Amino acid sequence: MEFLLEPFAFEFFRNGTLAAVLAGALCGMVGVYIVLRGMSYIGHGLSHAIFGGAVVSFVLQWNFYLGAGLWGFLAALLINQTVRRTKIPADAAIGVITTASFAVGVALISRYRGFTRSFDAALFGNILGVTRQDVWIVAGVGVAAAAAIFFLYKQLLFTTFDPEVAQVYGVRTEWVDTAFALILASVLIVSMQILGVTLIAAALVTPAIIARLLTDSFNRMILLSTAIGGLTGFGGMYLSFYVDVASGATIVLLQASVFVVVLGVMALRNQAGKRLVAFDV
C-alpha cells in the first residue's frame, strides 16, 4: 500500500497530478465541440499560435497568461472571421494563421538565442515544475470554462450541430463562436505548461473521440469525455512516476491506448452483432 501511495509524498507530484487531472478534464470537455465541428486541427494550431504569443509576452515582459491568452484569443477570432467571410476552408485558415504566429515565436527565439532553453517547457510540457499557484490558475479557468459551457449549453449545441439554422432560430452564432474561442484559448494556455504545445492536440481530441465511440447522446458524450480526460490525466501522471517517462507523453499515450482498446472492443461487438443477425436469419 505504501508503495502505491509513495509518489503522493512529494508535493511536486501532488501539484502535478491535480493539474493534470484538471487540464485533462478541461481538454476533454471543450474537445467535444471541436471534434463535432470537424476542427480537430485547431487544438494543434492554436497551441502553436499561443507559443508565439508566449515568446512575445516574454520579450515584452508582459504577464504570460494575459499576453499569451490575448494572442491565442485573437488568433482564434481571426480564424473564425476568415472562415466566415472568405471562401477559405477552416483547415487552411488554421494552417496559415497559427503557423505564422508560431513562426513569430521561432523568429524571436532565433534572434535572441539567450533564452532558447526556457521554452522547452512550453513545447513539451513541464508538469513537475507546476506550483500550487499554477494549480489554482488551472482550477480557476476550469470553473470559469465549465460555467460558460453550462450557461451556453443550448446555444453551443445548436451552433455545433448546424450554425446556419441556429442563426435562423435566434442563436447569435457569431457571439457564441467568439465566446467559445475565448474558452478554448484559456483552456489551451493553462494546459500548455502541463502537456506542452506539441502534445495538447491529442489531449483535446482523443477523449472526445473515445466518448463518441461509446455514446450517441450529446449530453453523455460531454460527461464521458470530461471524465476520460481527467482519469487519463491521473493515470498518465501516476504511470509516468514508475516508468520514468515524461508525464505529458505518458498521458497522451495512455489516452491513445484507451482509444485503441475501445475501438477494438467496438469492432468485436459489431462482428458479434453481425454474427447474431446472421444466426437469426
Partner 1 sequence: MQPLVELSDVTFGYAGQPVLESIDLHLHEGQFAAVVGPSGAGKTSLLRLLLGTLQPSRGKISLHRNGRALQVSYVPQIESVDWNFPVTVEQVVLMGRVRRSGPWPWPSADERQRMAAVLDELGIGDLAKRHIRELSGGQQQRVFLARALIAEPDLLVLDEPTTGLDLRTAETILHLLAHLNQHGMTILLSSHDLNAVAAHLPWVICLNRRVIAEGPPEQIFTEENLNRTYRGDMLVVRQDGMLLVQQRPHPHTVHDILHDPVLGHLE
Residues 25-44 that bind partner 1 (CB under 8 A): 36
- Binding of residue 55 to partner 1 (CB under 8 A): no
Identified binder of partner 1 from the candidate list 112, 136, 151, 175, rule CB under 8 A? 151
CB 41 within 8 A of CB 91: yes
Given a contact cutoff of 8 angstroms between Cβ atoms, the answer to whether 41 and 12 are in contact is no
Q: Does 103 bind partner 1 (CB under 8 A)?
A: no
Interface residue with partner 1 among 99, 131, 178, 215 (CB under 8 A) is: 215
Q: What are phi and psi of 245, to 5 degrees?
A: -125, 150
**Rg, C-alpha atoms of the chain:** 20
d(CA 152, CA 147): 8
Q: Is the dihedral of CA 224, 231, 45, 53 positive or negative?
A: positive
Which C-beta is closer to partner 1: that of 136 or that of 153? 153
**CB-wise, 10 or 153, nearer to partner 1?**
153
Contact in structure between 94 and 211 (CB atoms under 8 Å): no
Query: Would you list the DSSP string of 37-80?
Result: TT-THHHHHHHHHHHHHHHHHHHTT--HHHHHHHHHHHHHHHHH
- Does 150 bind partner 1 (CB under 8 A)? Our answer is yes
Taking the least distance from each CB to partner 1, the nearer of 32 and 68 is 32
Least CB distance to partner 1 at residue 34 (A): 14
Q: State the chain's maximal CA–CA distance in angstroms.
A: 73
Among 167, 239, 246, 256, binds partner 1 (CB under 8 A): 167
Q: In the set 41, 62, 64, 218, which binds partner 1 (CB under 8 A)? A: 218
Residue 250 makes contact with partner 1 by CB under 8 A: no
Instruction: Supply the minimum distance, in Å, between the C-beta of residue 165 and partner 1.
Output: 6
Tell me, rounded to whole angstroms, the distance of Cα 108 from its chain centroid: 26
Please identify which residue in 89, 162, 266, 270 interacts with partner 1, judged by CB under 8 A. Answer: 162
In this chain, which stretch among 50-58, 121-129, 212-220, 242-250 interacts with partner 1, using CB under 8 A? 212-220
Chosen residue from 74, 77, 92, 157 binding partner 1 by CB under 8 A? 157
Near partner 1 by CB under 8 A: residue from 4, 170, 243, 244: 170
Least separation in angstroms between CB 162 and partner 1: 7
Nearest one of 242, 214, 238 to 227, comparing CA atoms = 214
Quick check: 155 binds partner 1 (CB under 8 A)? yes
Shortest distance (Å) from residue 90 CB to partner 1: 15
| Residue 90 within binding range of partner 1, rule CB under 8 A | no
Contacts of 102-111 with C-beta under 8 Å, sequence gap 24+, read 102/48, 102/49, 102/51, 102/52, 103/52, 104/52, 104/55, 104/56, 105/51, 105/52, 105/53, 105/54, 105/55, 105/56, 106/52, 108/55, 108/56, 108/59, 109/55
Cell digits for 165?
A: 439554422
Say if CB 145 and CB 29 are below 8 A apart. yes
Check residue 158 for interaction with partner 1 (CB under 8 A): yes
Rule CB under 8 A: choose which of 165, 261, 266, 268 binds partner 1: 165
Which residues bind to partner 1, rule: CB under 8 A? 36, 150-151, 153-155, 157-158, 160-162, 164-171, 212, 215-219, 221
